[in-house]
């Protein structure tokens, strides 16, 4: 039954998207001269988009728009081939025939009014449907060009925004240290064996000696807000730093740390400023949407990570943003990590599909655990600290909620752990000891800003001891769950 429902949903979604395209063409055709100018451009772009989507699974996103503006003609020539040229020539031929046909007909006033009325009715239906689930139709070609361009403009605006810089009075007290922040995606703390889960989902991290924090609370349950919150000095009741100040990255750079952002998710506009604070930026396969069918495995990040480690900068801050447990789970899951079965066969969110969802989700966690092990392997013989913090948790139908961005309790307890190398433990034994005393307390994700700075042997006037897990003055705090709505 769920398979039939899924098929019907796909067909209806396609039909409504096609309806929107038909309405556009009808509006163009109302005036033969407008049709002659606009329709060839529309057809040419649509044909090129269809070809590259079919052949390369390319996505219409901000990366594509940026490439259009920045790519030179020499690079474009590398993409030309007989099949694409044949497709474009065929589209031009069909366009010419349709233009000739359009000039052969004349609309009477009554026909014109009827067609215009139907077109306006079509716009209303399309717009209403699109609002039922935000941009569900506008995210499809050719409308997705509009959304991608708007996102591109937002990115540019965010990158150009002015913020208060916090690094001026900071100084570092260690000649060499590597700090790795791994940002997980949608991983629940209660789906890890050390926190009481009935399955073993992160065995390698546990074997490496990772120290898990079971009671982390995130006031936000969607990526953009969650990362803006914990990368900055924001805290419950003090959210302005999310929008007005730099992140802790600026403090690290002022202390001569080499900084890098290594990501398996395409940059969100809200995070562009922080990402651009870094010396090095690596985005895995940015030409593909995070929702495309092309696999973008977290293991793809191991090589660029290792390359940076091998550059032997004495002080480094590396931030790795995983795709992890991002929906659709199977897309992020290599076959060799399928341990819990049966797994998902479709994208239907229902209680009938819940077991399969959780199996696929837990399998992805096993894969993430394997990737993290390889990061840690590169750091074992160095003075290093690793912090893993997921942006939020995930819902599996509890109280009728699915996935995330619902503000539900199941989404507000993200997975988190710390790992320290032997050299780190020796030099900073007191810090590690105090952290162990604090790690099982209730912790708001605002801890990260203060804790990662102090844990990296940096002194800064912006460190607040009551938020710092390495401090004996740390105070357990839980953010107001209404923060998501502020």
Q: Give the range with max mean pLDDT: 22-26, 86-90, 141-145, 247-251.
A: 247-251
Q: Give every CB contact of residue 93 below 8 A, 6+ residues apart in sequence.
A: none
Q: Cβ distance 178 to 93 under 8 Å?
A: no
Could you tell me the pLDDT band of residue 438, with boundaries at 50, 70 and 90? very high
Average pLDDT over residues 129-136: 68
pLDDT at 376 over 90: yes
Q: What is the DSSP string of 423-473?
A: HHHHHTHHHHHHHHHHTTS-EETTHHHHHHHHHTTEE-TT--GGG-TTSTT
The H or E element that residue 35 is part of is helix 32-56
pLDDT at 78 over 60: no
Locate tokens 């039939």: which residue? 4
| Separation of alpha carbons 76 and 64, rounded Å | 13
Percent of the chain with pLDDT over 70: 86
pLDDT at 480 over 70: no
336 or 27, which is more confident = 336
Please work out, in degrees rounded to the nearest 5, the angle formed at the alpha carbon of residue 225 by the alpha carbons of 220 and 230: 80
Could you tell me the pLDDT band of residue 155, with boundaries at 50, 70 and 90? low
Average pLDDT over residues 471-475: 96
Q: Cβ distance 193 to 201 under 8 Å?
A: yes
pLDDT of res. 56: 54
**Alpha helices, DSSP H, located in 104-171:** 109-132, 144-160
Could you tell me the pLDDT band of residue 134, with boundaries at 50, 70 and 90? low
**Is the previous residue joined to 361 through a cis bond, with omega within 30 degrees of 0?**
no
pLDDT of res. 477: 72
pLDDT at 483 over 70: no
Q: Give the range with max mean pLDDT: 4-18, 143-157, 302-316.
A: 302-316
Q: Where are the domains of the chain?
A: 2-159, 166-485
Output the six-digit token pair for 22: 């038909």
Q: Is 335 helix (H, G, I), strand (E, B) or coil?
A: helix
Could you tell me the pLDDT band of residue 75, with boundaries at 50, 70 and 90? very low
Q: How far apart are the first and last CA of the chain?
A: 40
Phi, psi at 391, each rounded to 5°: -70, -30
pLDDT of res. 422: 98
Q: Which of 50-54, 134-138, 231-235, 379-383 has the lowest mean pLDDT?
A: 134-138
pLDDT at 252 over 90: yes
Percent of the chain with pLDDT over 90: 56
Output the six-digit token pair for 372: 């993290």
What does the pLDDT look like over 331-365, one tens digit per residue? 989 999 999 999 999 888 889 999 999 999 999 99
| Separation of alpha carbons 257 and 177, rounded Å | 9
pLDDT of res. 485: 42
Q: Give every CB contact of residue 222 below 8 A, 6+ residues apart in sequence.
A: 391, 392, 404, 405, 484
Q: Cβ distance 418 to 451 under 8 Å?
A: no
Could you tell me the pLDDT band of residue 25, with boundaries at 50, 70 and 90? confident
Q: Cβ distance 423 to 383 under 8 Å?
A: yes
pLDDT of res. 355: 97
What does the pLDDT look like over 191-243, one tens digit per residue? 999 999 999 999 999 999 999 999 999 999 989 889 999 999 999 999 999 98
| Separation of alpha carbons 485 and 469, rounded Å | 27
Could you tell me the pLDDT band of residue 429, with boundaries at 50, 70 and 90? very high
The mean pLDDT of the chain is 87
pLDDT of res. 26: 82
pLDDT of res. 298: 97
pLDDT of res. 67: 52
Please work out, in degrees rounded to the nearest 5, the angle formed at the alpha carbon of residue 410 by the alpha carbons of 409 and 412: 60
The H or E element that residue 250 is part of is helix 248-254
pLDDT at 441 over 90: yes
Average pLDDT over residues 145-157: 69
pLDDT at 70 over 90: no
Pick the CATH number of 166-485 from 3.40.980.10, 3.40.50.300, 3.40.720.10, 2.60.40.10: 3.40.720.10
| Separation of alpha carbons 84 and 191, rounded Å | 47
pLDDT of res. 73: 53
Locate tokens 């696929």: which residue? 360
Pairing status of strand 171-172 against strand 458-459: antiparallel
pLDDT of res. 288: 79
Nearest Cα neighbor of 253 from 226, 276, 228, 224 is 276
275 or 74, which is more confident = 275
Average pLDDT over residues 302-319: 96
pLDDT of res. 111: 80
Could you tell me the pLDDT band of residue 486, with boundaries at 50, 70 and 90? very low
The distance from CA 235 to its chain's CA centroid, rounded to whole angstroms, is 22
- Provide the strand spans (E) within 129-279: 171-172, 177-184, 211-212, 216-217, 258-263
């Amino acid at each position: 039954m769920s398979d039939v429902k899924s098929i019907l949903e796909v067909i209806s979604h396609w039909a409504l998207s096609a309806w929107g395209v038909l309405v556009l063409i009808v509006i163009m055709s109302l005036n033969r001269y407008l049709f002659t100018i606009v329709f060839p451009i529309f057809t040419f772009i649509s044909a090129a988009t269809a070809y590259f989507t079919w052949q390369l699974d390319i996505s219409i996103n901000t990366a594509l728009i940026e490439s259009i503006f920045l790519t030179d003609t020499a690079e474009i020539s590398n993409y030309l081939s007989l099949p694409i040229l044949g497709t474009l020539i065929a589209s031009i031929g069909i366009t010419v025939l349709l233009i000739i046909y359009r000039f052969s007909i004349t609309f009477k006033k009554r026909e014109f009014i009827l067609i215009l009325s139907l077109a306006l009715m079509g716009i209303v239906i399309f717009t209403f449907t699109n609002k039922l689930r935000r941009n569900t139709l506008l995210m499809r070609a050719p409308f997705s060009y509009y959304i991608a361009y708007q996102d591109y403009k937002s990115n540019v605006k965010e990158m150009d925004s002015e913020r208060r810089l916090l690094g001026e009075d900071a100084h570092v007290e260690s000649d060499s240290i590597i700090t790795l922040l791994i940002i997980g995606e949608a991983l629940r703390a209660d789906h890890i064996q050390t926190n009481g889960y009935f399955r073993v989902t992160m065995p390698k991290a546990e074997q490496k000696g990772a120290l898990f924090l079971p009671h982390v609370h995130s006031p936000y349950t969607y990526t953009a807000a969650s990362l803006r919150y914990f990368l900055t000095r924001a805290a419950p009741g003090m959210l302005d730093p999310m929008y007005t100040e730099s992140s802790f990255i600026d403090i690290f750079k002022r202390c001569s740390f080499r900084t890098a952002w290594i990501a398996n998710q395409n940059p969100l506009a809200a995070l562009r400023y922080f990402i651009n604070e870094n010396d090095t930026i690596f985005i895995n396969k940015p030409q593909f949407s995070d929702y495309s069918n092309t696999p973008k495995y977290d293991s793809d990040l191991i090589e660029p990570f290792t390359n940076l480690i091998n550059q032997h900068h004495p002080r480094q801050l590396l931030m790795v943003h995983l795709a992890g447990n991002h929906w659709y789970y199977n897309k992020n899951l290599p076959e060799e990590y399928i341990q819990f079965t049966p797994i998902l066969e479709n994208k239907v969110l229902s209680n009938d599909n819940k077991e399969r969802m959780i199996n696929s989700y837990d399998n992805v966690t096993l894969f993430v655990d394997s990737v993290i092990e390889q990061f840690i392997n590169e750091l074992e013989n160095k003075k290093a600290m690793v912090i893993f913090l997921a942006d939020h948790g995930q819902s599996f139908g509890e109280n009728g909620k699915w996935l995330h961005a619902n503000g539900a309790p199941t989404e507000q307890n993200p997975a988190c752990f710390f790992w320290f190398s032997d050299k780190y433990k020796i030099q900073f034994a007191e810090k590690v000891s105090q952290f162990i005393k604090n790690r099982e307390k209730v912790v708001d994700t605002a801890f990260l800003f203060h804790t990662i700075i102090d844990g990296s042997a940096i002194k800064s006037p912006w460190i607040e001891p009551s938020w710092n897990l390495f401090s004996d003055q740390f105070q357990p705090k839980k953010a107001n769950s209404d923060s998501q709505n502020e």
